[in-house]
Amino acid sequence: MKTLKQWFMPLIFITIVPTVLATEEDIRDHPGYVDFTSLTAIANTEPTVEVSLKTPLLNLITNLMRNSDEEAAEFISKLRRVTVNVFETDAIDVDEIAESMTVIAAALDADGWERVIRVRDGEDHVDVHFRLSDNAEIIYGITIMVAEPGDTVLVNIAGEISASDISALGRRFDIDELVDIDLNPDRDADLDGDQD
């Protein structure tokens, strides 16, 4: 048994680690991925909430959900990365992090991302961007940056997301900024008209 462990564990390491590293490399090339390293460095503190779901774990979640919630399993299966960092502290300089968020938002604008929400209200700063496919039928990425006194939120979701999945995604991962976004107001108006 000891001999088996001596050979088996290194074999698992040799086969799994390159796959994980390759996945990490691939995600950086994904059009919906955004690196928040510069912003988390400014925060200079541990996040109150940190979610980092990578492809292998998302695949596992998808398989576990198949029997109980097929709809949720379907859209989660199309995700490549979900990153959520929430900092609930007054120690973060809101002006400094908001300034850095503005730089990132401008870079996203220049890179073809669509700015969906922009709020500048006193010390409250909110930016929500979507990275759309050329035909605007698929969302490759969602980025949410919020800076306000005592609360900084950084969210990046990369994958292939349909417009109809946005609210469900917000509810599933408790992201309020996504729950209220309606990308199909005409469809909703048509549905209301049909009920009359």
- What is the tens place of the pLDDT at every residue in 88-133? 998 889 999 999 999 999 999 999 999 999 999 988 999 999 999 9
> With 90 as the cut, is the pLDDT of residue 147 above it?
yes
Task: Return d(Cα 45, Cα 90) in angstroms, integer.
Answer: 11
Q: For the residues 34-62, what does the mean pLDDT come to? A: 89
Give percent helix, percent strand, percent coil of the chain, each to the nearest 5.
50, 25, 25
d(CA 4, CA 23): 29
pLDDT band at 165 (very low <50, low <70, confident <90, very high): confident
Residue 55: pLDDT above 70?
yes
The whole-chain average pLDDT of the chain stands at: 79
Q: Which of 12-16, 61-65, 172-176 reaches the highest mean pLDDT?
A: 61-65
Three-state DSSP at 7 gives: helix
Question: 82 near 53, Cβ under 8 Å?
Answer: yes
Q: Does the pLDDT at position 177 exceed 80?
A: no
Ordered alpha helix ranges (H), 139-184: 166-172, 176-179
From the list 117, 126, 119, 123, the residue with the least C-alpha distance to 94 is 123
CA distance to 29, 95, 144, 155, 195, per residue, from 120 (Å)? 31, 12, 14, 18, 38
Q: Binning pLDDT at 50, 70 and 90, where does residue 182 land?
A: low
Whole-model pTM?
0.75
